Structure formats: structure tokens, C-alpha cells
Structure 1
């Protein structure tokens, strides 16, 4: 791309030599959306990040006070509360909210606190015809209006209007439900841009949660989240993925303050490997063994390329794309014959500030969420897999999250398949990143200029919130 291209602000950054995402896109079987291979970023410089942002309880408190209340947070999927009266409890950094489906199909959210003596109204998800406090019986309608005060004669000083439950802003997009505590700020559509435009092609509103696993991790939420904002750790942390992953040739785009996108190509060999003597069939066979979204996660051993043979003169990438188009159409009833090889297999990951990361494309999609877990040194990492709902079928209710404790491994959730092993490789690093950051003597985290540009964007946005600039 030319240096004068307005989609690159500042001098273009150095890139790994070899076959790029753009090269692969232009050789794809079907047309690839231009935004998946067009660079769009700002040169954000090379300044270090203070290590104390990950370890200092005082900075953790600044996040709680100045950042979390002002951002849109992914709270639920629509299939978690399909019927009127269904509700979920969303909690983060000491805040607690009830998200509840209304009779007209809308979704509203309220502070999950009784306005009498402060008891939480709900402690888990479920269905209810009213919101009643288990302590003294103060009761609200599902729309947050006051229904009943026991011994009302003793509360003549309280009006019905004053006793409405405090309501929280709700936004809905693509089957996702978001909350924002602050009333002011950008609309959800503006906050997510350009995702709503990009995802018109992939329509996550046509998907449902097939599995959902969470795990408590002994590291700061940013340490864990940032491990999923770059692909180049694959060469050491996930070496089994190198035969079919173009890790160092990934494309990293950033869009304003809140959104970024990574495209890591699959079905092509890592530039860290010597291709000599490696046939295209070997790439396919390794993809079948170790691809984390292969069909062993959803009970069809013939899908995902398990029996793919690469014809003479065809690339592994093209052969995998053809197989995945056929099996996806057959399994989920959506015709994806038009889809590119890139959309069928690549790791296309969007990160939305501060803690929501959905994969894109037409394969079963991973969705990540990270939240602080009680203190600066622990977090809850959640992994969902979304699959497409066949046409004419109702979206099934989401399963409950399987919660793994601090001493459990991701592999103790067998429904994750090979993904559990991949996450465990990450866990071999992350707790030691946290303790290492506490032991550092220079309070500096140094970042790559391009391959970690999304971490720098994230940290810049976080600093703007903490300093009151957003």
C-alpha cells in the first residue's frame, strides 16, 4: 500500500517478509471483502507501557471508578433470556445488574440492589414474574416500577417515583446485549464501528451459543486479554500450530479508540518454518489435528477437513476452503458457497474495548470475554462457541457457563476439544507474566511497533479514560 494512503496515518510500519494476507486474499477461490486485506492503522510510536498498570491496586481502582462505568460492556447473548421474565445477573468490579426480557420483547437493565436495605435482589439467572427482595419483601415489577412495600404505612416518606429501580443503558447488536452504566457517551453503533458494517456479511444474530466455559486465571485481566491481541507468540507458545498458521504475517488493523481487527491466515505455513520438502497435504493434515475450531467440537467427524485430500496443483488453503464450505452448508443449512477461503478458516478476531472479542467468518465462532475477579491479580476468562442456527429453527436457549476454578485446567472442559490444550499452553505463561511484572525493576513493558499495535491502542484508550479524556 502506498505511503500516502489515508488509511495509514504516519509512516508505514515494517512487516514480516513473505506471503501477506493481501497476497492470499488476491489468490483466494472466491472474492474476499476488501476490509479483510486492506491496511488501516495509525503509527502509535514505541513508548513503553508502565508495568504498574497491571499490578498496582491503585490503578485497578482508577479503572473501576473512571473506565468501567463509561464503556459498553458485553453482558449477555439474546439466547440467554429468550422469554419475557427471563433474566441474567451481570456483575463486574463490584457492580451488579439485572438484565431482564420485557413483555414486548425488549430488554432492560436495572441495578441489582434493593432500595430498602441494599440486599441483592437476585443472585443468579432465571425467570421471574416480579423482582422481590428476599430480606423484607420490597417488590418491583419487571419494568423497574415499584409494586409493593410491606407495611407501607411505615414508609410514608417514600414515593413510588423515587423508588423506581435505577435503570442502566442497554444496547443490542448481532445477538449481543450490552450495558453502560453512564448515561452519556457514544451510541453502541458508533462505539462498535466499523463492526456492524463488517458483520452484515456474517450475521451473528443468526448464531447461538453452543458451549460456554469460564476459568479463573491468576493474572490481571489485561495481561490475559492482551495475550489474545497478537499472534506472534505462536512460534514459541503454540508450535504445533505453525504448519498451518501464518502467524508473523498477520494483518493488524485499528479503528479509532475502541475497535481493532486481526486476520491471521490459516491453511498456509508459518514464515518461521522451512517449506522445503513439505507438501500441501501435510499442511492440511496438521490443520485437521490441531485447528481449535474443527468439527470435533460439534460432533461431526466428517467436517472441518478431516478427510480432505489436496488435488495436484491445488493449495492446502483452497482445498480446506472447499471442504469447509461444503460441510458448513450441509451441517447448518446456510449456503456459504460464495464465501472466501479466508472467511472459512482464518482467525479473524475483532477486539472491542475493553474486554469483548468475537471471531468472524462462517465457521463456528469463538467469543472471548475477560473480567476482573475480585482483585488486581486475578480475572475470569470466558470462552463461548457460536454456531449457526439452521433456517426455520428457533434459536436454542444458551447453556449455562461451566466455571473452572483457579486450580482446574481448561482441559477439564472436554467440550472445548483441542482448544483446551491451546489455552493451557497460554496458562503456562500468564501467571508468570503477572508475577514477573511485580518483580520488574524498570516498570516498563516494551511492545513491538506493528505486531503489538493493538495492545498499544488498547493501553492508549485506557489511559484516556483514567485521565478523564474520554
Structure 2
């Protein structure tokens, strides 16, 4: 039985010597990667033990727990965490497990005065200290310190709350690298979670995530956006071990088209994606499409929220500026409402995951940040287009959904047992696997 990552590497090497082994190469180059990474339960179990236990994970938004006593239950694999607003300016995290017999303290997120176990009535204060134990004399050998809930590391950035099970790993600031500096103009901490939709998908979490890490698939999966999306022109950047980025321009047609569309077609297509009509009597050829669309987006946001976007570039108003923070967190940059993706394994099932889509909107000038909306869970066979709060995005994700489960079943049918990745356009996926390998080998990625 394969029980360790090293054994997995050795098994892969024996069966297919050409398959990438991170200990044999300094970089991924053009080597294929092994299909077992997506379909093998032993590989998944190594991820659980060696990676998920050591990385920073986005657990929730601050506006999900705005008041003292608000608790968010964050579940990952077989772990459950209570993320608690224990004081106005303090957020703490504890295992969702009673220290008596192990029952979960909370079955779902909510607001409480104490965290109380429903089995025998043990209860804890919001800071994790013990509050009461029925028949305390039965546990005379345990001090209050013994009964304090263990603390899980918490970090905060951009209005997001992160947790890390590893007490000795890098700080969140070091882990995020360039992200805080790159997002400084966009101030996600001044936004609020206006949309949150989730669905279980029948594929490995990496299969789902990687479907959103490149623009190479647009020509076949999203051909309707080619008149106003420069798929081939996308830029892919890597910033240290945990962060990479995709810059993809809207308002610029794809080079795949046999003829370059006119400005009216580019503008009309983009406005249609936004659910808006083409203005009458528009002299489309008089204004470059990106300039027109950038100003349309800028003025729309200013009307809705106030504020000053005079210095916001057209790219910051239009483009897909998508960062991926290892392992599973993908916030969009820019001044338009920010999309945020998160992918998580669904329990210990190698063939199932949870995909979540959030949208952060600017807080109206002079108003307090609203409480984040609750999660809208779609049924396992329900289309994303049923989520009316995702008017433009839902149908696009449905197109991606036509691929993801089929990738999972196709990988199992593969006789080659490998995945071939493009040298540049899928370089972010290669970077992801390089970082994953470092964790699975028990070392911090450099």
C-alpha cells in the first residue's frame, strides 16, 4: 500500500519515468504531470497530512462576524474550526470540538454568548476560556488552563480572516508576499460580501480550481466572449511560492477571430455581458472601445457608491486581474465589484469538491460596512445560472461545469496517465504543483 508521498513519487517513476518528479527537476519545464494527483486517494491523503495542515486558508470575511459573539464555522476536510469575534477588534479561532467527549460545539455559524456543548453542557467564553463544567468535582484534576480551548492561528488581510493549523509556519504577511502591496489601491477591507454562492462539484478540488487559472480554454469553452476578450494576450505572473496572477483584457478582441470586430461589436458585446443595452446614436468608431467601456464602468460605480475613481485606469475597471494565493483562494483585483473564488475538498472524497463564488462590492460613501450575505447553496445538479445574484457570471461558470466532471472521469480513463500543460499559458498551474510538491515533501516552498 502506498502510504507516503515519497512512495508515490517512486511508484510514478517506476511506471512512467518521464513523469515529473520535483526532486529530479529544478523546475517543471514542459514535463507532463501525473494524473494520480487528481484521482488517487493516497495522493489526496498526503495533501491532507502534509499540506492542508500547514497553509494559510481564507476562512471567512470580517463582515461575516461583525459583532461580538458572532461565530463562523469553517470546515476543511475532516476539521472544523470556530472563528469567533471575541471582542470588537479581536478575532480568534478554536477547534470546533468539546474537550470532554469531542462533540462539535456548534453545528452551524451563528451568534452566541457562550460556546456550549449540547452533549453534557460544558461551556466556554468567547475567548476560549472555560466558563462552566457540570459536576466540576468529577474533573478535579483539571485546571482552568487545562480546559482552555486550544487556539488556532488567525491572520487578517483585506477584510478576510485566515486560519493556519501550523504554529510554526510563516506569518500571513510573509505568506501573502506582494498581495497586500498590489491590492493597496483597491482596499478590499472597505468592501462587503454582497454575493456568496456555493455548490458541490463532482471532481477533485484541483481540477475545479485549475479550470479558472488560464485563458487558454476560452476559445472552446466561452467562444461568445471572443469579440471582446483578449484570451491569447493574457499575461501570467509568478510572485514567490504562494502567489501567481493572470491579467486578461476585456474590451479587446481575441486574435483567434478571422476578422477584427468593429468597436460597436466590442462595446455591444461587453455591455451585453453586463446586462446593459447599446446606447442609441453612439458614434462607436470615434472612441476606442476600452476607453468607452472603462468610462462606462467608472461612471456606473460612482453613481452607485459615490467616491472618486478619476485616477482609476481602464484596466482596473475592466480587466480580469486574478490572483491565486496557494492553495485555494483567488481574489480579483481592480475597482469594479471584486469576484473571489475558493475551492475546497468535500470531506475526504478525492472526486468531490466545494466551489464558492463571492462578489465584494464597495461600501457606499459615508455608510458602515453591511453584514455579509449568507451562503446560497445550489443543489448538486443545479446550474449556476439559477443564482440570479450572478447574472453575468453564472452562465459562464455553467460552461466551465460542462468540463470539470468530464475531466475527472477522463483522467481515470487515460492510458497515458499524464497531464500535458502548455509552457506559458498554463504556467500558473505548473507553479501551483511545484509549491504543492514542496509541502508534500515536508519542506517550505522557496
Asked if Structure 1 and Structure 2 have the same fold, meaning a TM-score greater than 0.5 normalized by the shorter chain, the answer is: yes
- Deviation, 1:43, is 7.2
Query: What is the correspondence of 1:183-194 to structure 2 with a 5 Å cutoff?
Result: 183-194=167-178
1:373 to 324, 342, 346: 346
**In structure 2, distance between residues paired with 1:376 and 1:369:** 17
- Deviation, 1:190, is 1.1
Superposed CA deviations along residues 408-462 of structure 1, whole A, max 9, x for unmatched, are: 1112212211211111101111101000111111221110010000000000111
Other structure's SS at 1:360 match: coil
2:212 to 228, 233, 251: 228
1:104–1:416 CA distance, 2 compared to 1 (3 A): closer
Superposed CA deviations along residues 232-259 of structure 1, whole A, max 9, x for unmatched, are: 1000000001010000110000011100
Match of 1:413 in 2: 387
Query: What is the correspondence of 1:261-340 to structure 2 with a 5 Å cutoff?
Result: 261-276=245-260, 278-290=261-273, 294=274, 296=275, 309-340=282-313
**TM-score (normalised: structure 2):** 0.91
Contact kept? 1:284, 1:308, Cα under 8 Å: no
Superposed CA deviations along residues 344-363 of structure 1, whole A, max 9, x for unmatched, are: 00000000000000011011
**TM-score (normalised: structure 1):** 0.87
**In structure 2, distance between residues paired with 1:190 and 1:157:** 41
**In structure 1, distance between residues paired with 2:282 and 2:343:** 39
**In structure 1, distance between residues paired with 2:112 and 2:99:** 19
Other structure's SS at 1:249 match: strand
- Say whether residues 1:139 and 2:113 are aligned partners: no
**In structure 1, distance between residues paired with 2:208 and 2:240:** 22
**In structure 2, distance between residues paired with 1:308 and 1:373:** 52
| Superposition RMSD in Å | 1.5
Match of 1:178 in 2: 162
Contact kept? 1:309, 1:319, Cα under 8 Å: no
Contact kept? 1:88, 1:126, Cα under 8 Å: yes
Aligned length: 418
1:425 to 399, 403, 406: 399
**In structure 1, distance between residues paired with 2:145 and 2:299:** 58
1:438–1:312 CA distance, 2 compared to 1 (3 A): closer
Match of 1:249 in 2: 233
2:30 to 43, 46, 63: 46
- Deviation, 1:274, is 2.5
- Deviation, 1:279, is 1.5
**In structure 2, distance between residues paired with 1:331 and 1:409:** 29
Query: What is the correspondence of 1:353-368 to structure 2 with a 5 Å cutoff?
Result: 353-368=326-341
Match of 2:221 in 1: 237
1:68–1:307 CA distance, 2 compared to 1 (3 A): farther
Other structure's SS at 1:147 match: strand
Contact kept? 2:215, 2:231, Cα under 8 Å: yes
Other structure's SS at 1:281 match: helix
Other structure's SS at 1:350 match: strand
Match of 2:14 in 1: none
Match of 2:7 in 1: none
- Deviation, 1:465, is 0.6
Gaps of 5+ in 1: 1-41
- Say whether residues 1:214 and 2:187 are aligned partners: no
**In structure 1, distance between residues paired with 2:272 and 2:88:** 47
2:409 to 435, 438, 444: 435
**In structure 2, distance between residues paired with 1:44 and 1:389:** 43
Query: What is the correspondence of 1:33-72 to structure 2 with a 5 Å cutoff?
Result: 44-72=28-56
Contact kept? 2:83, 2:94, Cα under 8 Å: yes
Contact kept? 1:139, 1:148, Cα under 8 Å: yes
Query: What is the correspondence of 1:51-130 to structure 2 with a 5 Å cutoff?
Result: 51-130=35-114
**In structure 1, distance between residues paired with 2:360 and 2:307:** 14
Match of 2:151 in 1: 167
Gaps of 5+ in 2: 1-25
- Deviation, 1:137, is 0.5
**In structure 1, distance between residues paired with 2:279 and 2:239:** 37
- Deviation, 1:307, is 6.9
